[in-house]
Amino acid sequence: MIGGRSGIPDAAPDRGGSGPSRNERVAISADGGGSTRGRGSGSDSGSAARGGRPGQIADPGMWAFERANAQLREELAQLEERTRRRDILVDDEAVFEFYQHRIPPEVCSTKSFEGWWRKARLETPDLLTMTADALVDEDTPEIDEGVFPPSWQQGDQRLSLGYKFEPGAEDDGVTVQVPLALLARLSPHGFDWQVPGLRAELVTALIKSLPKNIRRNVVPAGDWAARLLAELPPQPGIIQTQPADVPDQSFTATLAALIQKLTYVPVTAVDFELDRVPSHLRPTFVVSDERGRTVATGKELTELQRRLAPRARESVAKASAQIPTNAIERGGITTWDLGELPRFLDTKIRGSQGENTIRGYPTLVDEGTSVAIRMMSTEAEQARALPRGVRRLLLLATPSPAAYVQQHLTGTEKLSLATSPYKNTAALFEDCLAASVDDVLFRVRPDGQIFMKAEFDTIRDRVSGVVMDSMFETVGLVARILAAARIADKELKGATSMALLPAISDARGQLAGLIYPGFVSSTGLAQLRHLPRYLGGISARIPKLVDNPGRDRVWMNEAQAATARFETAGGTMPLQTDAAPHLVRARWMIEELRISLFAQELKAAESVSLQRIQKVLAV
């Protein structure tokens, strides 16, 4: 058994003489159990030492020393994986010699070995038990295993790490084991620092990936890597008693700032060509479900989070539901029937590296005719859904004045409203009411985050007090907007020259980004008041375009450059309902820029330029 599982070759040169051969004697004693316990070949021994089945170590048919030796070899083989070396474990011949020097020559059969060992182990129980000194090559330099930790800590989460030394394999290098329910809470910042044992290699590779004009200031790369490592702030991910802080920027940003500080050469994170960095220096994330089954793997944590967001939310909800006090998901809610919506709920789970916390974020989800309490996996998801859920409850609690308002519209207003992009007038009025409710909600709570019944009741009462006047004002404003849109559309249809087609297409795109189904509540009352001016700007542009197409082209290029930067930053026109504040700000700055270019006579509401828009987007 030792020959097959603990690494003793079954074939070796004969000892010579009339006694049993060296191979026969050691193989018999190593097998220890006769023919019923077959021995593996020498090549099998090598493979067992480097990643053999863990179950072999716990084989109940093994002697105690065999189990201990197999366990030690497995641990040392894993150390080779972590340190990316193949020179730590001694070869099979050295293992053979270990037993050869301890087993007497007269032991030449299974029976004689068992008889001898039963007596010998009483006097020297550790005679056949190997130590690290016996298995580690004497020329191997001392290794600090602490720089290749078994786990990684981020915040209050502790994740298991695995190591693999197989160049070319997808999971070559460090592997981070991520429970699906914890996926959304993780930040890529910190993991990109790598484990301490690989950080010097990472920094060296990053230096070599820099453009030549920067790289020549930090050569030789290895020496500079050592210097930079000495200057870097405390490493993230180390195991400690307090939650580990998450770095506020990427490792490349930190490294770039440090290089610039030491060399006075401008360097930014984008200067590093990450494609030139060996893949084993980027951790692989393995996401597994509650049953331990692998759900997905990849190098990009944010991409895994995006792709698995629905499943991560379900996993968090399922974990939370295991604790009765946390099982709060339900639907069909039409009134605020809870005292307080918890901001978060924690569920403790125990893994191989200790206890972790699954944090769920309850929120209200708008389901059309009612709302539901759903558990989200991130605070950001909670924040995106909650205002719309609160709005739905406010709408359900507020009698609609739509019929009364519609009865008191002027004929001109009715004609304008009939041209709206909504499917019917009822849908338009419903959206106007939603915008009126939002206006009150966001005046009281700019972020729309309502968790307490008392606060909800206050907002509901304020809505009831102003809804009639607000609806009249909103519907009247929308009528003026639609009238201005009709005039702009007429001007665009009047410009028929093919030479003007690019500019006309640009203006039509602007119009489509302002007037669309749902534009009233999506734009919001505060910004809605500017739409007549923006639409007037389209109408004012056309005569100038016909008069001087070249000048319009210059202005259009500037406006389109601003729009391109906006879209590169993640913006869309129309805006998504959950667009980030800086994207909302930049989107309306682009409209003001168009006024300042094409319709100066209408006056922009603020000083605006392409550079200022870029500054807003650079967050």
Q: Encoding tokens for residue 95?
A: 């293992």
Bridge partners of residue 259, in order along the sequence: none
Instruction: Give the mean pLDDT of 281-294.
Output: 92
SS3 575: coil
Alpha-carbon span 134 to 89, nearest angstrom = 9
Q: Encoding tokens for residue 54?
A: 């863990």
| Distant-in-sequence, close-in-space partners of 78: CB < 8 Å, separation ≥ 6 | 163
Cβ atoms of 164 and 148 within 8 Å: the answer is no
pLDDT at 319 (0 to 100): 86
pLDDT at 470 over 90: yes
Cβ atoms of 87 and 140 within 8 Å: the answer is yes
pLDDT at 446 (0 to 100): 93
Closest by alpha carbon to 559, among 531, 512, 596? 596
Indicate the pLDDT class of residue 126, thresholds 50, 70 and 90.
confident
Cβ atoms of 556 and 583 within 8 Å: the answer is no
pLDDT at 17 over 60: no
pLDDT at 10 (0 to 100): 37
The alpha carbon of 194 is separated from its chain's Cα centroid by a whole number of angstroms, namely: 16
Mean pLDDT, the chain, integer: 84
Give residue-wise pLDDT tens across range 32-78: 333 322 333 333 333 333 333 333 334 445 678 888 888 877 777 77
Closest by alpha carbon to 29, among 95, 101, 117, 93? 117
Give residue-wise pLDDT tens across range 319-364: 888 777 778 899 999 999 988 999 999 888 776 556 788 889 999 9
At 163, give phi and psi (nearest 5°).
Answer: -135, 145
pLDDT at 584 (0 to 100): 96
Give residue-wise pLDDT tens across range 570-618: 999 999 988 889 999 999 999 999 999 999 999 999 999 999 999 999 8
Indicate the pLDDT class of residue 476, thresholds 50, 70 and 90.
very high
Closest by alpha carbon to 290, among 255, 315, 264? 315
Q: What is the CA radius of gyration of the chain?
A: 36
Give residue-wise pLDDT tens across range 129-186: 877 776 666 655 566 667 888 889 888 788 999 888 888 888 888 999 999 999 998 9
pLDDT at 12 (0 to 100): 35
pLDDT at 536 over 90: yes
Sign of CA dihedral 107, 113, 119, 121: positive
Give residue-wise pLDDT tens across range 363-388: 999 999 999 999 999 998 999 999 99
Indicate the pLDDT class of residue 194, thresholds 50, 70 and 90.
very high
pLDDT at 30 (0 to 100): 42
Indicate the pLDDT class of residue 236, thresholds 50, 70 and 90.
low
Place of tokens 């978060």: 344
Alpha-carbon span 462 to 222, nearest angstrom = 66
Q: Spell out the alpha helix ranges (H) of 308-447.
A: 309-321, 379-397, 402-407, 411-417, 425-444
Closest by alpha carbon to 188, among 199, 203, 178? 178
The alpha carbon of 400 is separated from its chain's Cα centroid by a whole number of angstroms, namely: 42
CB atoms within 10 A of CB 488: 25
Q: Spell out the alpha helix ranges (H) of 445-570.
A: 453-494, 501-514, 519-523, 525-528, 531-547, 549-568
